[in-house]
Amino acid sequence: MERPGARDAGRGAGRERSRLSGFLAALRKDLLLQWRTRAQFVAVFVFGATALLLFSFAIGPDAAALRQHSAGFLWLGLLLSSTLALADSFESEVQHRALEGLLLLPADPRALYYGKALANVLQLTVLGVGLVPVIVVLYDAFTARIPALLAIIVLGAAGLSAPGTLYSAMTAQMRARNTLLPLLLFPLVVPALLAAVKSTSLLILGDPMGQLTSWVALLVAFDAVYWSLCGLVFERVVED
């Protein structure tokens, strides 16, 4: 069989284009999609705030207990909301096989993954920051260390987003995706969630033993593992 261009062909020929420009293109695309579907984001936020309200009902009018558990409730609210936001993030990709269209251009699957995962981090961070005033009002949970709290929310959102983006891609075309996504995601993010809860709790309740740095370091370590592994696996998920 004649193969006129075989010699200069390469497996990575399509990836010679800058991976960075592909990543930026993917990030721009996902941020634009999030902006255009912001009404859904408002619904997700309301869901999270409602969950926090229900948690406060479960504890009852015990102000100390509410404050004690506020960090856990904040992250549970964010975790539950994140499953809705993450599932939405892939709906537009599979609706008219838009993601397949990008892969055929060809777009680098890793660039597509990291672009979407980072856009999801930004969305979950905004969601988390939006839920903080809710826990201040409902649980009297306040910290003056705002930059530290913001950093923990960003790191925790990254811990949810990396595997969440991967699993939402895996489940996007399944009929039971709304059930499957949390079933797959929740066990995997337990370590990151635990580290985020402990770090936030230490900020709100005080850190007499100086444990905050250790928990944040643990959160960073889990993020690093999630972001590197999920990026590697994503191509297999969307191409096979």
> What residues line the site for another protein (CB under 8 A)?
1-6, 9-15, 17, 21-22, 24-26, 28-29, 32-33, 36-37, 92, 95-98, 100-107, 240
> Least Å distance between CB 202 and another protein?
40
**Vertex 84 angle, CA 104 and 134, to 5°:** 140
> Least Å distance between CB 128 and another protein?
24
Residue placing its CB nearer to another protein in the complex, 2 or 57: 2
> Least Å distance between CB 7 and another protein?
9
Residue placing its CB nearer to another protein in the complex, 9 or 209: 9
Q: Nearest Cα to 55, choosing from 38, 67, 73, 81?
A: 73
> Least Å distance between CB 160 and another protein?
23
Cα–Cα dist 28/41, whole Å: 17
> Least Å distance between CB 137 and another protein?
33
Through-space distance between the first and last CA atoms of the chain, rounded to whole angstroms: 27
> Least Å distance between CB 78 and another protein?
24
Residue placing its CB nearer to another protein in the complex, 30 or 223: 30
Residue placing its CB nearer to another protein in the complex, 175 or 240: 240
**132-144: b or e for each residue (b if 16 or more CB lie within 10 Å)?**
bebbeebbebbbe
Residue placing its CB nearer to another protein in the complex, 104 or 176: 104
Cα–Cα dist 201/208, whole Å: 12
Which structure tokens are listed for 211?
């444990």
Question: Rounded to 5 degrees, what are φ and ψ at 206?
Answer: 105, 155
Residue placing its CB nearer to another protein in the complex, 113 or 215: 113
Q: Nearest Cα to 85, choosing from 77, 74, 73, 97?
A: 77
What is the Rg, in whole angstroms, of the alpha carbon atoms belonging to the chain? Answer: 20
Q: In one letter, which amino acid is 56?
A: S
Which structure tokens are listed for 225?
């593992």
Residue placing its CB nearer to another protein in the complex, 62 or 100: 100
> Exposed (0-12), middle (13-18) or buried (19+): which is 195, by Cβ within 10 Å?
buried
Q: In one letter, which amino acid is 83?
A: T
> Least Å distance between CB 239 and another protein?
8
